[in-house]
Amino acid sequence: MRAHVAERLRTAILSGDIPPGAPLVETALSNRFEVSRGPLREALRQLIEEGLVVTVPYTGTHVASLSVEDVQEIYSLRTALEIFAFEQIWPHRDDRFRAELRRRNDALLVTIDAGDDRASISTELEFHGLVYEASGHRLLQRAWNGLRGRLQLYWAAHHRAHGRRGPRRDSHDSYIAAAFGDDLDAMRREIGDHMRRGVETTERFLRSLPAR
Amino acid sequence: MRAHVAERLRTAILSGDIPPGAPLVETALSNRFEVSRGPLREALRQLIEEGLVVTVPYTGTHVASLSVEDVQEIYSLRTALEIFAFEQIWPHRDDRFRAELRRRNDALLVTIDAGDDRASISTELEFHGLVYEASGHRLLQRAWNGLRGRLQLYWAAHHRAHGRRGPRRDSHDSYIAAAFGDDLDAMRREIGDHMRRGVETTERFLRSLPAR
DNA sequence: ACATCGTCGATTGTCGACAATCCTGCGCCT
DNA sequence: AGGCGCAGGATTGTCGACAATCGACGATGT
């Protein structure tokens, strides 16, 4: 039951049925979903973990409302995690996996170009999920789980505000959306630049340390 | 109350009072901590998030028991996160922070050399915590929170099994312990090599993709 | 008019009892 | 003897009621 409640509440939030900032009163929700407050509270805890809900003790819980900084954090951390995922995949690479990844990304680009937001969101989540799954790194997948809900929340809010979902192939996550798209070289440059930047900044930081 | 229960249970687990694999029966714990099963369950959920406890529906929950693969995942993900943290710190670097980091690392090395495991664990956690805190990246700090408990669990188990805590200055996390220690150059090479390896493997992966 | 304090409603936190589910071990059948 | 089914005990899952806490509103005194 608990998982089912979390699922339904998550759907209600991501669909915009319960908008960001809206209060989530436990008694009201327990009536709505026809469960006691016990399971409902545990469902809320899970959604808190996923970043869809925020709560302040003894006063109330609300649907999360992401700031610009939040979104920047989501995307920057996702980039770091995904680069790490690629590192993990490389030693166990196989052609079937890469073909599957390529196929899914093609499907993603088709849905994006068709303007079917719901389908493209779903397809994109599957695409990224495949990358993390292929890494075989359970903790990494767990970290991705903690990001996915926040991403969806942002996409949903952005879509309702601007009529299109937030990330598009030429937008925030172009680094990976472009990966298997029109310009493979551009994508290679982009990821390569990002990582080289990381190397450089880290090494500069290290050099800046006081000598012993 | 809930946070207090989680705290006490966490202490009991990390101290080895309740060893890995031991069953955690809700009724017994609710008697032990003199709270109802409601708050106790929420405390358990939190410890599950921290990786200290595992549960299987309708059968029982136990103290987590880490496998070799688990530990490898913990350390590899921590490396990725910490490199990302340094990237975040760089633009906002300031000398006071670096001096503070240096000071804490010196304290860490002192406690390690003194063989005071409890103190060195605490000091090392503070040290890493400072890095993540300085990144100003809340999601990153959250990810670190998800790793910290698992690290502590491993250290505690390793200490009881081998008489010393797991990570030492010449061990797993030497890449960062050495950072401000004896051989700054070695640490620079280590982090640099790690990141270059990441760049290389990712680029090889990208090149291996089928052309459009 | 304004500040301060108390009261009240709303919401979350906690509790004890009951229901659903799963594992174990025993009896029974083949 | 070996496998199967079934009851019993143990454990988690769920429920409804009560307690603790917080924020807002209004009374009251200066």
pLDDT tens digits for A29-70?
999 999 999 999 999 999 999 999 999 999 999 999 988 788
In chain B, the largest separation of any two C-alpha atoms, in whole Å, equals: 64
Contact yes or no for B63/B19 (Cβ under 8 A):
yes
C-alpha distance from residue A35 to each of A5, A39, A59 (Å): 8, 7, 22
Q: Which has the closest alpha carbon to A147: A65, A62, A79?
A: A79
Contact between chains at B181 and A212 (C-beta distance less than 8 A): yes
Q: Is A199 on the interface with B (CB under 8 A)?
A: yes
Can you list the domains of chain B with their CATH numbers? 2-63 (1.10.10.10), 68-206 (1.20.120)
The mean predicted confidence, pLDDT, of chain B is: 77
B50-99 pLDDT, tens digit per residue, is: 999 999 999 999 999 988 788 888 888 988 888 788 777 765 656 676 66
Q: Which residues of A fall within a CB distance of 8 Å from B76? A: 84, 88, 137
State residue B54's pLDDT score. 96
Q: Which has the closest alpha carbon to A30: A12, A58, A5?
A: A5
Contact between chains at B202 and A209 (C-beta distance less than 8 A): no
C-alpha distance from residue B1 to each of A37, B55, B155 (Å): 18, 22, 28
Residue B173 has pLDDT above 50, yes or no: no
Please report, rounded to whole angstroms, the spatial distance between the CA atom of protein residue A113 and the C1' atom of nucleotide D5: 59
> Dihedral sign, CA of B85, B88, B91, B92?
negative
Contact between chains at A180 and B212 (C-beta distance less than 8 A): yes
